[in-house]
Structure 1
């Protein structure tokens, strides 16, 4: 089965390639849902043949807060200004976290809440490929005065692959940060493990202290908020039920985050027990690895999840 469906949640409009809220994709390899807001992948389920039953099973590679998604859909239906969606893979740009000099500006920049343009949809024997773009406009220029173009290619097949290009379309260089703020499902966070960061320096954002990851695996028994630098870009998330492999190119930072119990209560867009169900492993270039892009130049990055 292969299909791509454009959906809108406001009855005033008819959904098409240029006017939609979410896209639903299904092919022989996967099922996926992508929001136009942020060009954000909300879900990705890989299909797998069960040799014992001859049935097709599915493996979910992303986690999304049902409460946050419902709030987003309610805002769409009532024409209220939509908020960022907590889950899937939001894109943080042109800064990560709070703005370095103005706390009034939106956390994680504006890319995750802007409406992107879907410029092409292709289907091949490998699955579906979608190309989204975002350029500077009156909203972005109000908080970041640089001409730019973001190009995001999403490939939905046996793997989920994302390729991002950041182009400086202005006459002067600019500095920026970006992060794929990816949410991954775990059976229980207490049983989750992350491989791939041993020996790497990290800033613990809860203590503002710098450490080195001594153990082979990262484990979780409390709130965790760390920025790792000079990383290799290859990771494995696993628990007793499944494992998820992440491979990146040119992403020199990684952020590991779980809010644990008390912070989850303060978030407002997740259920009280949701902290047990996910971990964020964010592939990025932030802080000392922020990007410097000359006028007319571009920088490219990729991430593959399997």
Structure 2
């Protein structure tokens, strides 16, 4: 298993501030070193790239090599204001502009239990805010306010790459009996029992409540909640190559994402807000 590429910021047992800006692979990154957790954000995309509660293995996967320009693969990219390909403009980037643009850090606070951060992106007639709470658990909340005087269409996602021991030894529970859509086979599906992603998976589920990512190789579990008003997307490329990512790296992640508008665009009236959330905590690994 590869060492997390951002672990280098935490190797030395020296006193360092809780929040510290560094430069890594041509990006500005905010290194967070709190008694209860370690984390790294990229200013580009307000992207949480690394999160590790004290005494645990990292929760998020991140590619070792980043492109000189463009999106960083890994962590929790913010896909906004569209998810996947743009519905009409083929030349526009997949998953929107938000993960390609520098965000402004409005606030960062610390207390005995963890850290809180507030990032903002203002683009045209949109205002997008990301609130993060990190400690022994991880919570991300994305809010979009539409400030134009005409209705608009949008879709969005918090696309989390969860770090695992081996994709062949993970199973996602909590979806038994849930109806979804298999985008690889282009057909409706109903999940029966645990979902295993080895060999490739791209499914969208209409699901409320917690799921549990059981990682038998690492003998751990993560309880993941994508919120009440979102779809849950489970994705792994299987044997399809990913540009700039080695095969051994691909074996070390699975995506469980919180999305809205992924199957049909979400409509926002002038002044209306859209919300998306992703919460994770440590669970008990099932046998």
The answer, yes or no, to whether TM exceeds 0.5 is yes
| Offset from partner CA, 1:257-291 (integer Å, 9 cap, x none) | 11112x12xx2221122221110011111244542
Q: Give the superposition deviation at 1:299.
A: 2.2
Q: Aligned to 2:65, what secondary structure does the other structure show?
A: helix
Instruction: Indicate the larger mover: 27-36 or 290-299.
Output: 290-299
Higher helix share: 1
CA–CA separation in structure 2 for the residues paired with 1:45 and 1:237? 16
CA–CA separation in structure 2 for the residues paired with 1:197 and 1:180? 19
- Written as runs of structure 1 = structure 2, the 5 A alignment for 1:1-306 is 3-8=18-23, 21-47=28-54, 57-68=55-66, 71=67, 75=68, 82-137=69-124, 147-213=125-191, 215-228=192-205, 230-240=206-216, 241-261=219-239, 263-264=240-241, 267-288=242-263, 290-306=265-281
Q: Aligned to 1:150, what secondary structure does the other structure show?
A: strand
8 Å CA contact 1:252–1:289 kept in 2: the answer is no
CA–CA separation in structure 2 for the residues paired with 1:289 and 1:170? 21
Q: Give the superposition deviation at 1:90.
A: 0.2
CA–CA separation in structure 2 for the residues paired with 1:193 and 1:177? 28
Q: Give the superposition deviation at 1:225.
A: 1.2
8 Å CA contact 1:150–1:165 kept in 2: the answer is yes
CA–CA separation in structure 2 for the residues paired with 1:9 and 1:181? 22
Paired residues, what number? Answer: 264
Structure 1 segments (4+ residues) deviating >6 Å: none
CA–CA separation in structure 1 for the residues paired with 2:198 and 2:111? 44
CA–CA separation in structure 2 for the residues paired with 1:21 and 1:256? 30
Q: Give the superposition deviation at 1:36.
A: 0.5
| Offset from partner CA, 1:108-146 (integer Å, 9 cap, x none) | 111111110111111122221111000114xxxxxxxxx
- Output the aligned Cα RMSD: 1.9
8 Å CA contact 1:250–1:301 kept in 2: the answer is no
CA–CA separation in structure 1 for the residues paired with 2:24 and 2:248? 28
Q: Please list every run of 5 or more consecutive structure 1 residues that lacks an aligned counterpart in the other structure.
A: 12-19, 48-56, 76-81, 138-146
Q: Aligned to 1:42, what secondary structure does the other structure show?
A: strand
TM superposition score normalised by structure 2: 0.86
Instruction: Indicate the larger mover: 114-123 or 219-228.
Output: 219-228
| Offset from partner CA, 1:204-251 (integer Å, 9 cap, x none) | 2222111111x22101331111122x2114211012121111123234
Q: Aligned to 1:165, what secondary structure does the other structure show?
A: strand
CA–CA separation in structure 1 for the residues paired with 2:243 and 2:33? 32
